[in-house]
Chains A and B, each alone.
Chain A
Amino acid sequence: EPEVTQTPSHQVTQMGQEVILRCVPISNHLYFYWYRQILGQKVEFLVSFYNNEISEKSEIFDDQFSVERPDGSNFTLKIRSTKLEDSAMYFCASRWERGDRRETQYFGPGTRLLVL
């Protein structure tokens, strides 16, 4: 069964450093998302991406964040200058849509980011 994959599974970084989290969505999906989950809290929406542009972003997704689809398979989230409060689990999700047919979002296993 196709699945969303994410790398790395864990990332430890120093405050102020840049990190790039990588995702490979399901191959025929066209809508991509990033969510984060601070330990013990609910999953929060960060950004949605379609047709090579951001379609929606949350208040969390400030100028320190950016997303990119550098090729036909990868979808990345970059945090330019990490802060302690960026420590969280980051989930990538993707979904399929064609015409009136839409399916739900499928989530990857996540990247646990720890900022020291």
Chain B
Amino acid sequence: GENVEQHPSTLSVQEGDSAVIKCTYSDSASNYFPWYKQELGKGPQLIIDIRSNVGEKKDQRIAVTLNKTAKHFSLHITETQPEDSAVYFCAASTGFQKLVFGTGTRLLVSP
């Protein structure tokens, strides 16, 4: 079955810096890759997603890139703000069915 690896496990940046989180997946059949933000005590909230027919997608300060050949995808956050501090999870799916999550990255943005 699918296995998703995520790095780093923790990431500390200064406000205004960029943050990059990387994930790799194992199943070449996976074709949908969402990113979720989880704040303390809350459920995962979708922040951006990408489908396998697209190499890059951007939404304001957030972007995601996908390399199907290498089976990896990355989340890029620019101009980080303290409210970006949270745990970020990548996930992979085939046909929007069950999501296989990465292990999470705790992002801390210091003022």
Give complex CA distance A88, B99 in Å.
18
Partner of B98, one of A42, A48, A110: A48
Contact B44 A91 (CB under 8 A): yes
Interface residue count on the A side (C-beta < 8 Å): 24
Across the interface, A43 reaches (CB within 8 A) one of B49, B89, B96, namely B89
On whether the beta carbons of A103 and B96 are closer than 8 Å, the reply is yes
One of B11-19, B76-84, B100-108 at the interface: B100-108
- A56–B93 CA distance with the chains assembled, in angstroms: 13
Residue A66 interfacial (CB < 8 Å): no
Q: In angstroms, how far is the closest chain A Cβ from the Cβ of B53?
A: 13
Task: Please report the C-alpha to C-alpha distance between residue A97 and residue B97 in the assembled complex, in whole angstroms.
Answer: 11
User: For chain A, what secondary structure do more than half of its interface residues adopt (helix, strand, loop), or is it mixed?
Assistant: strand
Interface set, chain A 16-49, CB cutoff 8 A to B? 33, 35, 41-45, 48
The 3 closest A-B pairs by CB, nearest first: A107-B43, A45-B98, A43-B101
- B-binding residues in A (CB < 8 A): 4, 33, 35, 41-45, 48, 55-56, 58, 91, 95, 97, 102-110
26 contacts between A and B (CB under 8 A): A33-B98, A33-B99, A41-B103, A42-B89, A42-B102, A42-B104, A43-B44, A43-B89, A43-B99, A44-B101, A45-B100, A58-B98, A91-B43, A91-B44, A95-B96, A102-B95, A103-B96, A104-B96, A105-B34, A105-B99, A106-B46, A107-B36, A107-B44, A107-B45, A108-B43, A110-B43
